[in-house]
Structure 1
Amino acid sequence: MMNRFFPLVLCLAAAPVVAQETFPATLAGHAYLPALTLMAPPADAPRDALISGKFTGPVRNDAPMSVPGNTGGLHGKRLTGLNLPFIGQPLQGFSGFAMNRAEDGSVYVLTDNGFGTKANSPDTMLFFNSMAPDFETGEVVVKETVFLHDPDRKLPFRISWDATESRYLTGADLDLESIQRVGDSIWIGDEFGPYLIETTLDGRVKGIYPTMFEGNELKGPDTAGISALSKIGEDWQVQRSGGYEGMALQPGTDLLWAMMEKPLLAADGKPEGAFLRVLAFDPAQHDWTGENFKFKLAEGATAIGDFNFIDETRALVIERDNGEGEPSLKCTGEPAADCFPLPAMVKHVVLIDTASVDADGFVRRIGQIDLMDIADPDGKARIETDGGEVGRFSLPFFTIEDVMRVDDTHIMVAIDNNLPFSSGRKLNAAADNEVVLLSVPELLAAK
């Protein structure tokens, strides 16, 4: 199906959607922002923002740095070496690159909702940064931090700091996961609604747009108005943490293509299939176009992390499983401090061709690179990996959520470190916010 918004995409193709090749990747640069990087909230923010993470336990806790962080039951509850609550706001959780850069050449990068849920993040502020990784020094330089605020009351529901004059947004209001700049607006994909949010360059909310698909509004368990009495698959169809993890800006059309993180739920409450919906939104018209396609997940993959075009029709998608840590240190018995109970296995950057979609709506996967098998012949890795191998670099993290094309031969990838809960590179240390430059000429040239 084609229209004036979408001249190149969704041409029917017979090629199988899973046919693809794995291309080599070489580490060309490695930089990181230390995990425990904290910042003061704005002067006009509520005093509640001075200590963040007060609600990450079963009861409120106002004693700074008093509770050890751990990796949670899925990953063996290993201690990460950092304690909650934090003094200030954590500058953490990179969760999306914008394709269009800031005027000084720095990259817009989004930080997600704080500590992972509505319930535990009402004192964490929502913001995006412009940042510049220095691969010569290994530092990630944050140029500017922009806090989101809604003084004009564009959000149609009560926010955490509703009664304040500044009306800064928190992780209990929205779960930000993807970002693009279009002209003088920043567009952000949210998982709670799921919604698209438009803001000014200084973070002032201009509008909020619910998701419309086939004539119906898609909702999730955290959408305003959904309650314990709402019926799964009927009243809401988007899985928790399954909204817009990726949102790509298509060159030539300036359409935003928003990709779900997880499969939608059918009427019976079960996933409709091992694929993700991708929906088109026209920021000029402030409306959904009705165009869409499906991205088929590889075997073992459970979600995606980011999505960005590299030209008019080809795009990069991060797909992943829920594992973290090197497979060589997989626990053989009960989870322990010296092993990973669920190590990382499926961590890919996939190249897709949106001009090649089959009769069932599945986009063609051209090829991929394996983020667990990156060559490092020049020893550019700056952090030793527990269980790793000399000459091989990996990204053994639960959530890898940022990818973009840098030039004809390089891409940049970054992680969301889920501070202070993830520790994929080390058994007993919270993950840093790593940014890597990868040489992948064969992947970027593939058609």
Structure 2
Amino acid sequence: MKRTMIGLGAVVLALSLSAPALADQGNGAAEATSARGGHDGHGHGHGGDGDFGRATLTGFASLPALTFVPGSEPSGSLLGTAPVNGVTPPFSGQPVQGFSGVARRDDGTFDVLSDNGYGNKANSSDFLLRVQRVRPDFRTGGVRVVGGVNLSDPDRRVPFALTRPDRKLTGADFDVESMVRASDGTLWLGDEFGPFLLHFSATGKLLETPIALPGVQAPENPYLGGGTPNLGSSKGFEGMARSVDGKKLYPLMEGTVAGDPAGALRVSEFDVRHREYTGRRWVYQLEDPAHAIGDMIAVDANRFLVIERDGGQGDTALVKRLYLADLRDRDRDGKVDKTLVADLLDIANPKRLGGFDTTFRFPFQTIEDVVILDDSTLGVLNDNNFPFSSGRTAGKPDDNEFITIRLSHRLGADPRVLR
């Protein structure tokens, strides 16, 4: 899967990794208007100049797939006993895997969110939901796990039944896929089973009752009560941004709500202070209804970075892209304007970082993390779906890779994002 890095990127990376944490990744969208459906392909970009050019790899680091939380409980007991990509379940501990959200800290480390475990509600009841803390080293090419917190509900905020009597949360309780840090250090997570918004303390304790999205229910929703879901299984909040002023959250669906146009994904607005949805909504239109999004973060008050991808891996991976999505909808087609920022399957690698060729590919089935390091440098991480994904080397479970790329143009990001 992952290789060892053989060089360091630009000096700016070292500077950016020692800069303050980007906890305020979000978007106020103060000027945006409600969306009505549709999409314009590659819309308005940096000053309306169209798509960005080719991005350049400036850093590569990886965490081996077979990395487990020290002293943790066994897991994977519901996966059977047949080898998967050469790895035989069950496992002696909790794997450090499935990175589905990232938040930068001010000491060169990153909080990364492990998702619901082994892919679905039925097989993940012994996977403990956890926020891992990692430190990438782009000089050596390694990633160290330096801590983390399990997610739990000791104060009984969840009104429906949980898997464990000790109220530690598992992948059978929630499918957490997106994460932002508030200015007070608490964490907001987006779930796909409800979909719900979940608010946790910095130590992983659930602080309030899960907040449902009005009018939308996935098949796993505990309140469905035999009703008909209007969202696909685990197609809830895959991405979520926080406004730069901290007043709003902007969760983005992974799936299309029944009745909406094919490939149209809802972006909703949530008022953090009043703990309610404002009713404002926009549409992110996929390039193909078969695609999915992986993450969403804010650039300024109107623009987001969104990962869009197909379901392929390795040689079958054809679409792994970063778009700049502008909520202002300047062409008035009812959909956010999209500008291609980076093709993750065609990244220039002149220094052959990581031992790869001069063209670097990030060919993973699920790429679910992006973070702004400076105005022209992004960090991107994959979700390795341990032990199932094998996009780097066929028959071998993917590592968790952490790359940094330099864009061909500056983003012109809000200064609060760069702090």
Sort the TM-score into its range (normalised by shorter chain).
0.7 to 0.9
Separation in structure 1 between the aligned mates of residue 307 and residue 150 of structure 2, nearest angstrom:
26
Listed one character per residue, the Cα deviations across residues 312-356 of structure 1 (whole Å, up to 9, x for unaligned) are 222110000110112xxxxxxxxxxxxxxxx10011011112233
Separation in structure 2 between the aligned mates of residue 10 and residue 209 of structure 1, nearest angstrom:
28
SS of the equivalent of 1:87 reads: coil
**What is the aligned partner in structure 1 of residue 31 from structure 2?**
8
**What is the aligned partner in structure 1 of residue 152 from structure 2?**
149
Shift of 1:211: 3.2
**What is the aligned partner in structure 1 of residue 82 from structure 2?**
67
Separation in structure 1 between the aligned mates of residue 227 and residue 302 of structure 2, nearest angstrom:
39
**What is the aligned partner in structure 2 of residue 255 from structure 1?**
248
SS of the equivalent of 1:381 reads: helix
Unpaired stretches in structure 2, ≥5 consecutive residues: 1-27, 44-50, 414-419
Instruction: Decide whether the 8 Å contact of 1:31 with 1:434 is kept in 2.
Output: yes
Listed one character per residue, the Cα deviations across residues 265-323 of structure 1 (whole Å, up to 9, x for unaligned) are 22xxxx63222100011222211111110001113751100000122222110000110
**What is the aligned partner in structure 2 of residue 35 from structure 1?**
65
**What is the aligned partner in structure 2 of residue 378 from structure 1?**
351
* Residue 239 (1) aligns with residue 240 (2): no
SS of the equivalent of 2:87 reads: strand
When normalised by structure 1's length, the TM-score is 0.80
Separation in structure 1 between the aligned mates of residue 140 and residue 31 of structure 2, nearest angstrom:
41
* Residue 320 (1) aligns with residue 309 (2): yes
Shift of 1:7: 2.4
Instruction: Decide whether the 8 Å contact of 2:263 with 2:289 is kept in 1.
Output: no
Instruction: Decide whether the 8 Å contact of 1:408 with 1:441 is kept in 2.
Output: no
Distance 1:439 1:84, change over 3 A: same
Shift of 1:409: 1.4
Identity %: 39
- In the TM superposition, 1:106-121 aligns within 5 A as 106-121=109-124
Q: Which moved more, 1:201-210 or 1:296-305?
A: 296-305
**What is the aligned partner in structure 1 of residue 217 from structure 2?**
219
SS of the equivalent of 2:411 reads: helix
* Residue 81 (1) aligns with residue 86 (2): yes
Shift of 1:11: 8.2
Separation in structure 2 between the aligned mates of residue 443 and residue 243 of structure 1, nearest angstrom:
31
Unpaired stretches in structure 1, ≥5 consecutive residues: 43-49, 58-65, 70-79, 327-342, 385-389
SS of the equivalent of 1:119 reads: helix
Shift of 1:132: 2.3
Instruction: Decide whether the 8 Å contact of 1:67 with 1:85 is kept in 2.
Output: no
Q: Larger radius of gyration, structure 1 or 2? A: 1
**What is the aligned partner in structure 2 of residue 54 from structure 1?**
77
* Residue 90 (1) aligns with residue 90 (2): no
* Residue 230 (1) aligns with residue 219 (2): no
**What is the aligned partner in structure 2 of residue 340 from structure 1?**
none
Listed one character per residue, the Cα deviations across residues 251-276 of structure 1 (whole Å, up to 9, x for unaligned) are 1353110000121122xxxx632221
Distance 1:24 1:226, change over 3 A: same
Separation in structure 1 between the aligned mates of residue 277 and residue 34 of structure 2, nearest angstrom:
20
Of 324, 332, 342, 1:369 maps to 342
Shift of 1:365: 0.6
Separation in structure 2 between the aligned mates of residue 221 and residue 423 of structure 1, nearest angstrom:
28
Shift of 1:361: 3.1
Shift of 1:68: 0.2
SS of the equivalent of 2:404 reads: strand
Greater strand share, structure number? 1
Of 29, 42, 45, 1:19 maps to 42
Instruction: Decide whether the 8 Å contact of 2:137 with 2:143 is kept in 1.
Output: yes
Shift of 1:143: 2.6
**What is the aligned partner in structure 1 of residue 187 from structure 2?**
186
Separation in structure 1 between the aligned mates of residue 395 and residue 290 of structure 2, nearest angstrom:
25
SS of the equivalent of 2:207 reads: strand
Listed one character per residue, the Cα deviations across residues 339-388 of structure 1 (whole Å, up to 9, x for unaligned) are xxxx1001101111223355453111123311111111101024x5xxxx
Separation in structure 2 between the aligned mates of residue 190 and residue 246 of structure 1, nearest angstrom:
9
| Paired residues, number | 378
When normalised by structure 2's length, the TM-score is 0.85
Separation in structure 1 between the aligned mates of residue 35 and residue 254 of structure 2, nearest angstrom:
25
Instruction: Decide whether the 8 Å contact of 1:95 with 1:402 is kept in 2.
Output: yes
Distance 1:106 1:275, change over 3 A: same
